[in-house]
Structure 1
Amino acid sequence: MEDHYELINEAWKTAELYFSGDSSGHDIDHSRRVHKLALHLCHAEGGKSSITELIAILHDIGDHKLDSDKGTELIRQLGYRFPAKAGILHEVLEECARISFSKGGIPLTLEGKIVQDADRLDSIGAIGVARCFMFAGNRGHRLTDDRRSAVQHFYDKLLKIKDTLHTDRARQEAERRHAFLNLFLNELEQDLDPPAENNLS
């Protein structure tokens, strides 16, 4: 198996530079969780670990929701430092472009599908709730009563994720996280419409 150790290390440095100061929930901590989840899924599904790592590390760099120009430049610089890896880096970036939920892409490789699953798992469950409200606050979106509100995002994306996953292990994990989304929404609905004062116990 070809060794991509140095490229992986430099990819991490690129990601850390790109996400420095991010407060949208698409930060270096998200990349680290996706990386860890992806390697777990890769072990279960039999993917190539080094390719999975590279896609996981770079999957949000240049995302249209973030600073795509900065991401493009950083990736270009990474390519300059590893001209012998240009082919593999191109394949990795092609898969990264298919990861996004909003673009509706489907990765062509097992490794890309693994990372897409890991990325989507990090959008649901307790961490998904935290990231949803983090992103909404970053963009100035309302809690409710708006088509771009934090709560509307549950219905537009988060509650749909469970049925979009590729791998068996990811689908198993999604059941628990999806259940938490429903529990949270039920609790939130009660808090948003509290009982009248004389009905409080």
Structure 2
Amino acid sequence: MTAWDQVIKRTAEHVRRTLENDTTGHDWWHIDRVRRNALRIAAEEKADMVIVELAALLHDIADWKFHGGDDTAGPRAAHAWLSENNIDPAVVDAVCDIVARVTFKGAGVSTEMPTIEGKCVQDGDRLDAIGAIGVARAFTYGGHMGRPMHDPSVPAELHSSFAAYKSKSGPTINHFYEKLLLLKDRMQTDSGRRIAHERHAFMENYLQQFLAEWNGADGPVVTQTPSA
């Protein structure tokens, strides 16, 4: 086992311990799926596999959603862990920059990554937010936050700032229009775009079925048109 293998093993164990009791859809298994997604993409994109794997493992180590909206909590926690393990400062900086940038911040907010490693991790994370797993995670998180599944009287909103996105409290179905359905076109790698295509189609079919059942088997399908 190489020195990097040992660091990655310790980091995975640390993250698993930290998130093992999560029931919001941001648990260890989410991390592990993102890691596998990101590494699959990184292999095709010829990215630095160590930086990709460490950033994927640490990307939700202190998610702002569970730290009072503080979006600096994650990079700080990642930096503290890596520094404790005497990681090369250049690697620490690269990983923490990805952790700081990875999160979706609203439909009207740019979150592009400057490095191929960041693109791999961000695409890997976003792939886990769409498709069958994405649907399950959306309702799991919505239930945790006490949000209704759907309320046709509450329109979806295309948030123009991170502050507005962080303060949102609408029904879970709105989240599809405010974020999940937007992710396919925000993938930054060819690999991510290819995988996202099928998962996006699944979500569209799911929403059509959900809304048809909501309105009755023969009722009209009423979609949520987001407001700017």
Report the TM-score when normalising by structure 2: 0.78
Change (3 A) 1:165 1:18: same
Distance 2:172 2:190 in 1: 29
Does residue 1:15 correspond to 2:15, yes or no?
Answer: yes
Does residue 1:152 correspond to 2:174, yes or no?
Answer: yes
Measured against aligned partners, the alpha-carbon deviations of 1:155-201 in whole angstroms (never above 9, x if no partner) come to 000000000011111101111000001100010011101158xxxxx
Change (3 A) 1:70 1:91: closer
Aligned-residue identity in percent: 34
How many residue pairs get matched? 195
Alignment of 1:1-201 (within 5 A): 4-67=4-67, 74-75=77-78, 77-102=80-105, 104-145=110-151, 146=154, 148-195=170-217
User: Which one-letter code corresponds to 1:180 in the other structure?
Assistant: F
Distance 1:134 1:13 in 2: 24
In structure 2, runs of 5+ residues without a counterpart are 157-169, 219-228
Q: Secondary structure at the match of 2:66?
A: coil
Change (3 A) 1:96 1:75: closer
Measured against aligned partners, the alpha-carbon deviations of 1:43-66 in whole angstroms (never above 9, x if no partner) come to 111111111101110011122112
Distance 1:79 1:49 in 2: 16
Conserved? CA contact 2:102–2:118, under 8 Å = yes
Structure ranking higher in helix proportion: 1
Conserved? CA contact 1:42–1:114, under 8 Å = yes
User: Which one-letter code corresponds to 2:188 in the other structure?
Assistant: H
Distance 1:21 1:12 in 2: 15
Q: Secondary structure at the match of 1:194?
A: coil
Distance 2:196 2:124 in 1: 10
Identify the range of structure 1 (154-163 vs 102-111) with the bigger mean alpha-carbon deviation.
102-111
Change (3 A) 1:166 1:3: farther
